[in-house]
Structure 1
């Protein structure tokens, strides 16, 4: 039975060190983003593999209490490579020496990272430490190194990026270096301390240690970090020398390619499963329908987003197999008569040219219509002669159309030409090709997933024999 003891001078198992070059180029930091671009591209794929392999390691820890040695060495290598690139570029600007393209430890490089490989890990902690327990650290790391996320507006979302304190410090150091030729040492020490904190958290969230990261900013290039922990004395073993790992360039490439294929296959399989579920459980009278949406507008008409169907003769795989029968419904909640029509988009634009109308971007979600201004009163829609299908009168109204190739728009408006109205509407389509699309996505996703797993398992197994 293991006895617990208080360890007061044991180094934290994640050690991050840096050494600032005594002489740094005044201007090189201005173009390091371009010089480091090959590293950024490779690291994007390495981190993809890191995430996938961490999930695999999590399952192994849950079942055996051990982190597979070959995966541990690979993930340590990714963190080590990341730190070298950060130290060279805008995580510290600590060296002008170009980072090597390797997962292995390079003892004479100015930036090093070491992680003690634990003999055993808690099976219970693996379920919570990477998200629940690490949340306080995630907040701090976001403040230190920045991040990115979605910014929402009326039409959708797009990514935005915010810099952290490290970016501000390094920019200030770069400006001072440019004009004076000197790098202020306090700025370097503080930036490295924040980078160290972030890398400790990355290793903890990557399940590589059970030792909780200390809430302490250890500044400076040399890692002074120690932490008091209650732990069985023999629980942590030194990491194997990185140069002795079996991770050749070919095996790393295989793992990265396998991770990409596995994630792509998982996404396709999930999409196929979702389509199959919708096909089997979400149909109304054989059609997939959107929820009811209510719209109020001060204009003369509501116009749907463009429905673009390939205008090709593809037999059973033609445009009618994509949507099949289309139905637009206006239930009894509408307080006045309504005209509903489907026509080619060019004809609709001509009919509503100069007429104030509102465009609906997506019936499947809540989004305010976009008003298109105009000063002309529309003609009677029933007499326009452009509609391939139409209906008019007091609600409830339902328009049915057998789809065909082309660009189409749905128009809803009062038949008397008055401006300002409100109505509730929903739309749907038969989508007869959905089962085939679901089966194809599931099949292709399964093949890619299995192929990706093979590409990952083989090099991990072979690398394990070298550990």
Structure 2
């Protein structure tokens, strides 16, 4: 039985240039830095466009053509950079800075525009592609990994990950090129087949097509599974002749003209502004929520943190306050600070005090104490306190007798200390009232923060302005691209071949 393959809507081609420089691949990582920077912003915009396309397809069953051309253009740009770089090393011609197809460039990428798309399928493509994720991970990285486990229950110990078949084979090909001056064509065919698989999956998950990626490795530089049929005797890779390096075949696809540099820049800048706007919007919303719902007796309280030490005192580091506008900050934004300490052992009597750093250092000179380094931190709960110990003996006098405190409170039960921050270097101290060893208390800090409302409003307004500006730029770029017809060159994109009527099986 004869077997015919229908055309896949995603076409990925690459022409192996010859000769290739033996040494240039060692520097391509540096030469590609400008492209990496631009692509970082383009992919940010691509995510935004894909989200918009998701809702468009869900509601209308159509992927807006201007958004489609942009998304395909980003993947095309990425493929050219990968082909020049370390996903293929197939050419030494520097990639152009454009979303459009460039006839004659050795790497090309095209997706046939779907007039209609499934509304339901758009919801589950990410899930349907799960089997492909495993293959893609094996091809481009992270597909094989190993680790060892701490069986005591403290989590993972150490491990390693395999970087993927594509980078491995490209490195092997680069070494062969270095010593022989030739790129091994069988490895090139295999690498292009794996790159093609990855890009088909990216196009499917990126909602550019409803055609499920085939589970097959279409080898060779010329895509045998997409577009026009390729004769079995046709070479998969074009090489140089005596007349010079091989030229890429003319592209059978029209060059999109909707996305000019200005429109791409507008969308990218707009997407960046929208991403930045989430920061002040989220922060302003959180502060406004705290200001309106989380006050207790007009104060905003921190979470309780247990502070403990087997030494004679726990102190903060040097709190240096000063500069122009400190009084305004304290009176209008922060307010008087309240420190609350509750003994862990009910019978303990606590002392909390604030004093000049120099006076406190003199009082605790030679006294064993702990210095508070951090509350919470990366991967640490917000109520976890980290301290460092300073060796020494017992204090010569109880803290209440030191006479160095600008504000203090002592006694049994919960102690509260109110302190208005002022210019200078300050240290907060927690001790037992009798100066004995072993301090343990639940500590919380509160302040009225009268300026919180205005801070929240300013952040929200800044976020709204950034979001509005970003939206305007994105809409402007997309609208102008949508209302500009692409140029036509009289070339029709070949349609998929119809299935034969004689019972011949068609394989996608």
> Is the pair's TM-score, using the shorter chain for normalization, greater than 0.5?
yes
The question of whether the paired residues in 2 share the 8 Å contact of 1:360 and 1:368 is answered with: no
Q: Secondary structure at the match of 1:95?
A: coil
The question of whether the paired residues in 2 share the 8 Å contact of 1:255 and 1:455 is answered with: yes
2:338 to 327, 331, 336: 327
Cα drift, residue 268 of structure 1: 1.9
Q: Secondary structure at the match of 2:167?
A: helix
Task: Confirm or deny that 1:291 pairs with 2:290.
Answer: no
Segments ≥4 residues shifted beyond 6 Å: none
Task: For 2:290 and 2:252, locate their aligned partners in 1 and report how far apart those are by CA, in whole Å.
Answer: 50
Task: Confirm or deny that 1:449 pairs with 2:467.
Answer: yes
Cα RMSD after superposing both structures: 3.3
Go from structure 1 to structure 2 and tell me whether the alpha carbon gap of 1:145 and 1:344 turns closer, same or farther (over 3 Å shift). Answer: farther
Go from structure 1 to structure 2 and tell me whether the alpha carbon gap of 1:394 and 1:85 turns closer, same or farther (over 3 Å shift). Answer: same
Cα drift, residue 9 of structure 1: 2.9
Task: For 1:211 and 1:344, locate their aligned partners in 2 and report how far apart those are by CA, in whole Å.
Answer: 72
1:362 to 361, 372, 375: 375
1:236 paired residue number: none
1:144-163 equivalences under 5 Å are 144-146=139-141
Task: Confirm or deny that 1:372 pairs with 2:372.
Answer: no
Task: For 1:312 and 1:260, locate their aligned partners in 2 and report how far apart those are by CA, in whole Å.
Answer: 35
The question of whether the paired residues in 1 share the 8 Å contact of 2:306 and 2:385 is answered with: no
The question of whether the paired residues in 1 share the 8 Å contact of 2:333 and 2:451 is answered with: yes
1:281 paired residue number: 293
1:167 paired residue number: 167
Query: TM-score, normalising length from structure 1?
Result: 0.81
1:100 to 75, 89, 96: 96
Task: For 2:129 and 2:100, locate their aligned partners in 1 and report how far apart those are by CA, in whole Å.
Answer: 27
The question of whether the paired residues in 1 share the 8 Å contact of 2:409 and 2:415 is answered with: yes
1:156-305 equivalences under 5 Å are 164-165=163-164, 166-225=166-225, 241=253, 243-304=255-316
Task: Confirm or deny that 1:431 pairs with 2:449.
Answer: yes
In structure 2, stretches of 5+ residues that fail to align are: 143-159, 227-250, 486-508
Q: Secondary structure at the match of 1:119?
A: coil
The question of whether the paired residues in 2 share the 8 Å contact of 1:356 and 1:375 is answered with: yes
Cα drift, residue 309 of structure 1: 5.5
Cα drift, residue 413 of structure 1: 3.4
Task: For 2:480 and 2:394, locate their aligned partners in 1 and report how far apart those are by CA, in whole Å.
Answer: 73
Query: TM-score, normalising length from structure 2?
Result: 0.75
Q: Secondary structure at the match of 1:437?
A: helix
Q: Secondary structure at the match of 1:101?
A: coil
Task: For 1:128 and 1:224, locate their aligned partners in 2 and report how far apart those are by CA, in whole Å.
Answer: 28
1:390 paired residue number: 408
Go from structure 1 to structure 2 and tell me whether the alpha carbon gap of 1:183 and 1:277 turns closer, same or farther (over 3 Å shift). Answer: same
1:8-23 equivalences under 5 Å are 9-23=5-19
Q: Secondary structure at the match of 1:424?
A: strand
2:59 paired residue number: 63
Task: For 1:108 and 1:173, locate their aligned partners in 2 and report how far apart those are by CA, in whole Å.
Answer: 24
Task: For 1:103 and 1:47, locate their aligned partners in 2 and report how far apart those are by CA, in whole Å.
Answer: 12
Go from structure 1 to structure 2 and tell me whether the alpha carbon gap of 1:209 and 1:429 turns closer, same or farther (over 3 Å shift). Answer: farther
After superposing the two structures, state which structure 1 stretch, 254-263 or 97-106, moved more.
254-263
Cα drift, residue 304 of structure 1: 4.7
Cα drift, residue 341 of structure 1: 3.0
After superposing the two structures, state which structure 1 stretch, 395-404 or 214-223, moved more.
214-223
Computing the radius of gyration from Cα coordinates, the structure with the larger value is 2
Go from structure 1 to structure 2 and tell me whether the alpha carbon gap of 1:330 and 1:213 turns closer, same or farther (over 3 Å shift). Answer: farther
Deviation track 1:18-46 (CA, whole Å, cap 9, x = no partner) reads 22223222221111111111111111111
1:38 to 28, 34, 38: 34
Task: For 1:390 and 1:14, locate their aligned partners in 2 and report how far apart those are by CA, in whole Å.
Answer: 74
Task: For 1:61 and 1:376, locate their aligned partners in 2 and report how far apart those are by CA, in whole Å.
Answer: 71
Deviation track 1:70-125 (CA, whole Å, cap 9, x = no partner) reads 11101111110011111111222221110011100113212111112111222233
1:79-118 equivalences under 5 Å are 79-118=75-114
The question of whether the paired residues in 1 share the 8 Å contact of 2:15 and 2:90 is answered with: yes
In structure 1, stretches of 5+ residues that fail to align are: 1-6, 148-160, 227-238
After superposing the two structures, state which structure 1 stretch, 31-40 or 385-394, moved more.
385-394
Task: For 1:253 and 1:411, locate their aligned partners in 2 and report how far apart those are by CA, in whole Å.
Answer: 55
Q: Secondary structure at the match of 2:390?
A: coil
Go from structure 1 to structure 2 and tell me whether the alpha carbon gap of 1:310 and 1:363 turns closer, same or farther (over 3 Å shift). Answer: farther
The question of whether the paired residues in 2 share the 8 Å contact of 1:15 and 1:113 is answered with: yes
Task: For 2:254 and 2:402, locate their aligned partners in 1 and report how far apart those are by CA, in whole Å.
Answer: 76
Task: For 2:194 and 2:427, locate their aligned partners in 1 and report how far apart those are by CA, in whole Å.
Answer: 54
After superposing the two structures, state which structure 1 stretch, 261-270 or 353-362, moved more.
353-362
Cα drift, residue 191 of structure 1: 3.6
Go from structure 1 to structure 2 and tell me whether the alpha carbon gap of 1:110 and 1:309 turns closer, same or farther (over 3 Å shift). Answer: farther
Task: For 1:11 and 1:309, locate their aligned partners in 2 and report how far apart those are by CA, in whole Å.
Answer: 71
Q: Secondary structure at the match of 1:103?
A: coil
Go from structure 1 to structure 2 and tell me whether the alpha carbon gap of 1:405 and 1:117 turns closer, same or farther (over 3 Å shift). Answer: farther
Task: For 1:72 and 1:250, locate their aligned partners in 2 and report how far apart those are by CA, in whole Å.
Answer: 18
2:116 paired residue number: 120
Task: For 2:62 and 2:110, locate their aligned partners in 1 and report how far apart those are by CA, in whole Å.
Answer: 19
